[in-house]
C-alpha cells in the first residue's frame, strides 16, 4: 500500500478499499482518455475497462500520452493496456477493441460501477449517456474544443444528463492543445475518484473551463423535466 501513501490521508483506508474494489469503464483512450486512465490507475482503481476501436496515428501524439511511435497503426487498446499495465501492475485491465454502441454496452456496462466518457464525438457521447441512464450508472462526461472544456457529472435521476441538453450530432471543431486535454482528463478522473470514495459534496455537477482566461466555474444542473432520465 506504500504506492498509495501520499493520498491515503485524503481518502482514508475505506476510500482506498473502495477504489480497489471499483470497476470503472473508460470509453476512449485519446486526449481525454489518456490522462484519465493514468490518474485512475495511479489512484489504485481495481478494475479498468478500456474501450476504443481506433488505431494509433502520428497526429494523436501531441496529446495522447498512452501511445507512442512504437504503436503507430496498432490498436489503441493494445497500447493502453501495455502502458497502463507497466504503470500499475496491481490493477486489472480489460480491453474492448470495438466501437462503443448499444450492443457492446448491453454486454459490458452492467459489470461496471461507473463510466467515464472520453470520446471525441457527439454520437458516442449520446450512446454512453443513454446506457448510463438505462443501467443507472454514474457517468463522468468530458469534452474539449479549442481553448474550452467541460466536465459533467451525470447521476441518473439526480443531476442533468447529457441528453437533457438536447444535443444533436453536431460538427466538432477539432483543434486542441495536449496540455488542455490533460486538465480535462485529470478533472474527469478526479470527479470519478470523488464519487467512488464519497467525497463529492453534491453542490455541483457541471464544470466549465476556459483555458484562454484560465478560469474554472461550476454549477449544479437540475435535470430537464422533459428528459427520460428523470424517473
Give me the residues that bind other proteins (CB under 8 A), please: 28, 30-33, 118-122, 125, 142-150, 160, 164-167, 170, 172-174, 176, 181, 206, 208-210, 212-213, 217, 219-227
Closest approach, Cβ 216 to other proteins, in A, equals 9
Distance CA 3, CA 183 (A): 23
Residue nearer to other proteins on the CB measure, 28 or 49:
28
Q: Is 190 helix (H, G, I), strand (E, B) or coil?
A: helix
Cell 447521476, residue? 155
Sign of CA dihedral 139, 225, 208, 149: positive
From residue 89, how far is each of 18, 71, 75, 96 by CA, in Å?
Answer: 18, 20, 20, 19
Helices 178-197 and 33-43 pack at an angle, to 10 degrees, of 40
Helices 76-87 and 33-43 pack at an angle, to 10 degrees, of 30
Closest approach, Cβ 105 to other proteins, in A, equals 18
Residue nearer to other proteins on the CB measure, 29 or 197:
29
Residue nearer to other proteins on the CB measure, 13 or 219:
219
Cβ neighbourhood burial of 10 (10 Å; 0-12, 13-18, 19+):
exposed
Residue 122 CB partners (closer than 8 Å, separation 6+): 167, 168, 169, 170, 172
Residue nearer to other proteins on the CB measure, 43 or 209:
209
Closest approach, Cβ 227 to other proteins, in A, equals 8
Distance CA 133, CA 146 (A): 29
Residue nearer to other proteins on the CB measure, 8 or 148:
148
Residue nearer to other proteins on the CB measure, 15 or 30:
30
Amino acid at each position: 500500500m506504500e504506492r498509495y501513501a501520499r493520498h491515503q490521508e485524503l481518502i482514508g483506508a475505506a476510500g482506498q478499499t473502495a477504489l480497489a474494489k471499483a470497476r470503472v469503464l473508460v470509453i476512449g483512450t485519446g486526449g481525454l482518455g489518456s490522462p484519465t486512465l493514468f490518474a485512475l490507475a495511479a489512484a489504485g482503481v481495481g478494475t479498468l475497462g478500456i474501450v476504443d476501436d481506433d488505431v494509433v496515428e502520428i497526429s494523436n501524439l501531441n496529446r495522447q500520452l498512452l501511445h507512442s511511435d512504437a504503436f503507430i497503426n496498432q490498436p489503441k487498446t493494445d497500447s493502453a493496456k501495455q502502458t497502463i499495465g507497466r504503470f500499475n501492475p496491481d490493477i486489472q485491465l480489460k480491453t474492448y477493441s470495438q466501437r462503443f454502441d448499444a450492443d457492446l454496452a448491453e454486454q459490458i456496462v452492467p459489470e461496471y460501477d461507473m463510466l467515464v466518457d472520453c470520446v471525441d464525438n457527439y454520437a458516442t457521447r449520446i450512446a454512453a449517456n443513454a446506457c448510463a441512464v438505462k443501467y443507472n450508472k454514474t457517468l463522468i462526461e468530458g469534452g474539449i474544443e479549442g481553448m474550452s472544456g467541460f466536465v459533467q457529472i451525470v447521476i441518473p435521476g439526480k443531476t442533468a444528463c447529457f441528453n437533457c441538453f438536447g444535443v444533436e450530432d453536431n460538427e466538432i471543431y477539432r483543434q486542441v492543445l495536449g496540455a488542455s486535454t490533460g486538465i480535462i482528463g485529470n478533472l474527469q478522473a478526479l470527479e470519478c475518484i470523488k464519487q467512488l470514495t464519497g467525497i463529492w459534496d453534491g453542490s455541483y455537477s457541471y464544470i466549465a473551463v476556459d483555458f484562454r482566461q484560465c478560469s474554472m466555474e461550476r454549477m449544479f444542473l437540475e435535470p430537464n423535466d422533459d428528459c427520460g432520465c428523470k424517473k
